[in-house]
Amino acid sequence: MEIINQYFSDFSPRQTEQFAALEGLYKEWNEKINVISRKDIDSLYEKHVLHSLAIVATGDFPPGSQILDLGTGGGFPGIPLAIYYPDIEFHLVDSIGKKLKVVEAVAEELGLKNITTAHMRVEDIKNRKFDFVVSRAVAPLKDLWRWSKPVLKKSSPEFWKSMKHGLICLKGGDLAQEISESGCRPMLTEIYELFPEEYFKEKYVVCVPC
């Protein structure tokens, strides 16, 4: 929790309480259903929570946004983002039901009313559009973009000046080939510039406006 407080100082008492509760909840649930690698559970706040909040550090979601967390796994980046943005709706989707069981339990324990979940593949979402899709280390960018486009609302022609709608994903390593294969023109933010911790070297927030 200390590393979160190094970079964020504007939490309400409720948010501080919710973030502080994450470690105990995930350690307890990880004993039953492995959603975080054993070697990473002790670095939960750096490698999972702060990593998720890198999205916050690149810009705010407009009020009233509806956000899809594609392949949420154990609830990242969705749960930290839902704590940070209590007035924004997050829909967390994963194809593995047991992972969503953990997400639902954590959200309920934290009292997060702005989270819904669905055990399904994103390709099966019909008749619903979102302002943003967020994702972390789920698939190559070309696949994330292919899955995201059908469920994203369209932006105005001014989208390069202000990203109104789009895909925001957390990725690492040399992304040159991945970006080339995707056919996208993403905007990259180096997380190490936001949070100068060794872990975040060569990790990026990748934004693809829609």
Closest CA to 81 of 59, 98, 99: 59
| CA 2 to chain centroid | 20
Question: Is position 76 annotated in a ligand binding site?
Answer: yes
CB neighbour list of residue 31: distance below 8 Å, 6 or more residues apart: none
Q: Tokens representing 88?
A: 């924004």
Question: Is position 11 annotated in a ligand binding site?
Answer: no
For 73-110, write each residue's pLDDT tens digit.
Answer: 999 999 999 999 999 999 999 999 999 999 999 999 99
CA distances from 107 to 18, 34, 83, 117, 199 (A): 10, 17, 9, 10, 27
Q: What is the mean pLDDT of the chain?
A: 92
Question: Is position 123 annotated in a ligand binding site?
Answer: yes
pLDDT of residue 162: 54
pLDDT of residue 205: 97
The percent of residues in the chain predicted with pLDDT above 90, rounded, is: 80
Question: Is position 134 annotated in a ligand binding site?
Answer: no
Q: Which of the four pLDDT bands, split at 50, 70 and 90, describes residue 160?
A: very low
Domain locations in the chain? 2-209
Question: Is position 158 annotated in a ligand binding site?
Answer: no
Q: What SS3 class is residue 172?
A: strand
For 97-144, write each residue's pLDDT tens digit.
Answer: 999 999 999 999 999 999 999 999 999 998 899 999 999 978 999 999
pLDDT of residue 38: 81
pTM for this predicted structure: 0.94
Could you give the CA distance from residue 76 to residue 92 in angstroms, rounded to a whole number?
Answer: 9
Selected from 3.40.50.300, 3.40.50.150, 3.40.1000.10, 3.90.1720.10, the CATH number assigned to the domain covering 2-209 reads 3.40.50.150
Q: Is the pLDDT of residue 159 over 50?
A: no
